[in-house]
Amino acid sequence: MNLFRSEEHVRRWPLYSTSAEDYVLPVSTWTQIFSGQLFRERLAPDYLEKGKVYVAEYHDALREAGKASPYWNYPLIAGLDTVRLSRYRIVGAYTRFDDTVLNDLKDARNRIVNGLEHPSHHRENHLVWAAPGSGKTYFVEQVAASLGADANYREINLAKLDSHGFDNALTDAISTAQPTLCLVDEVDSRAAEMWPYEILMPYLDANMAGKAHIVFVFAGSSGFSLEGMKERIQARPKGADVLSRIPSSNQFTIAPLGFGDRVLVALSQLQAAGSAIGHEIEAVEKLGLYYVAVSDRLASARQLQEFAAAAVERIPRGDDRVKYDHFFVPGDPENKRFWVDVANVARDLVNAYVTVEA
């Protein structure tokens, strides 16, 4: 929709609702908002690192203009009735909203699992670029969990280890004859060090030498994209040799969480948290779901997971609904602040529920 249309035009829009009021701002105001760092600095090399600051500034600018939150996503929540999570499930409890992302990750999941289910004397190495907070670790964890006792799982974070610790962790990963899925997270870290890829190189050929049955997944988030991360890896000692041992078909991207993804993650994690404590969750109040979907405090999949678990613990026994108030500890000023921000457009979300089906 053209944000610069007149107020009269917006009111004549066939799909007009109270949420459409948020499209109505003077051109000069939108120009000022779009000149902020969120848009102006998008090509800067440190954009991802400063992303949270830029988003906060963007929302502050909206509040100063009298538009307190991104209400144009409101119709998605208002129109929800029943969500069948299986429609969006990739593996385990990991879900994605966009069909392209969903199917690409299903293909990646199948390639990883195929390498574990069938003994191989070939390299089974994968490379994933993922934006911070997109749930790359959770994706790999869910792939491992789906295999149950048929495979071991190891997780190594290069950024947290010195050379001796990194070598020991890799040795442990290939020390068993049982199929092993090994996530090497932040594989693009320690850029100033000479040793990471020199230590890693021999382990990439472990299957070929008949020493192990292992599938490596190398994950990172530098360089703004998969190609950007590969350029950085290739420029490092032994980096080109590492990349040469990862087939292009085993290289993929996990896109950042969009609005629909955050809704799905919230619903999925609420059900999972309830199941973990024997408390069945069948419905979520739309206002609470809207808060989860737009809150700056819940930018990553891990934050959403922890937030959902805490909310479920506040639900009285015998109630299968998650209400808006359950998302906050009693007296949390964030509860009132958000309601004040959205009350003029979101009243219909109060005491209205989305049914959740597995």
Question: Using H for helix, E for strand and C for coil, what is the string for the chain?
Answer: CCCCCCHHHHHHCCCCCHHHHHHCCCHHHHHHHHCCHHHHCCCCCCCCCCHHHHHHHHHHHHHHCCCCCCHHHHHHHHCCCEEEHHHCEEECCEECCCHHHHHHHHHHHHHHHHHHHCCCCCCCEEEEEECCCCCHHHHHHHHHHHHHHHCEEEEEEHHHCCHHHHHHHHHHHCCCCCCEEEEEECCCCCCCCCCHHHHHHHHHHCCCCCCCCEEEEEEECCCCCHHHHHHHHHCCCCHHHHHHCCCHHHEEEECCCCHHHHHHHHHHHHHHHHHHCCCCCCEEEHHHHHHHHHCCCCCCHHHHHHHHHHHHHCCCCCCCEECHHHHCCCCCHHHHHHHHHHHHHHHHHCCCEEEEEC
**Residue pair 244/275 in contact by the 8 Å Cβ criterion:** no
Highest mean pLDDT among 23-32, 206-215, 277-286: 277-286
Instruction: Write down the pLDDT at residue 125.
Output: 97
**Residue pair 206/232 in contact by the 8 Å Cβ criterion:** no
Q: Does domain 99-254 have CATH number 3.40.50.300?
A: yes
Q: What is the band of 151 on the pLDDT scale with cuts at 50, 70, 90?
A: very high
**Residue pair 50/41 in contact by the 8 Å Cβ criterion:** yes
Mean pLDDT over 241-255 rounds to 96
Instruction: Write down the pLDDT at residue 76.
Output: 77
Q: Is the dihedral of CA 131, 135, 139, 145 positive or negative?
A: positive
Q: How far apart are the C-alpha atoms of 317 and 298, rounded to whole Å?
A: 26
List C-alpha distances in Å: 357 to 78, 352, 354: 18, 17, 10
What digits encode the pLDDT tens for the residues 184-223? Answer: 999 999 999 999 999 999 999 999 988 799 999 999 998 8
**Residue pair 124/215 in contact by the 8 Å Cβ criterion:** yes
**Terminal CA-CA length for the chain:** 34
Q: How far apart are the C-alpha atoms of 108 and 302, rounded to whole Å?
A: 21
Pairing of strands 214-220, 125-130: parallel
Q: Regarding predicted confidence, which is higher, 353 or 32?
A: 353
Q: How far apart are the C-alpha atoms of 61 and 51, rounded to whole Å?
A: 15
The residues near 196 (Cβ < 8 Å, ≥ 6 apart) are: 158, 163, 166, 187, 190, 236
Mean pLDDT over 99-118 rounds to 96
| Domain spans in the chain, listed from the N-terminal domain onward | 10-75, 77-86+258-357, 99-254
Query: Backbone phi, then psi, for 184, in 5-degree steps?
Result: -105, 100
Q: Quote the pTM value.
A: 0.76
Q: Which of these ranges, 54-58, 75-79, 87-91, 116-120, has the smallest mean pLDDT?
A: 54-58
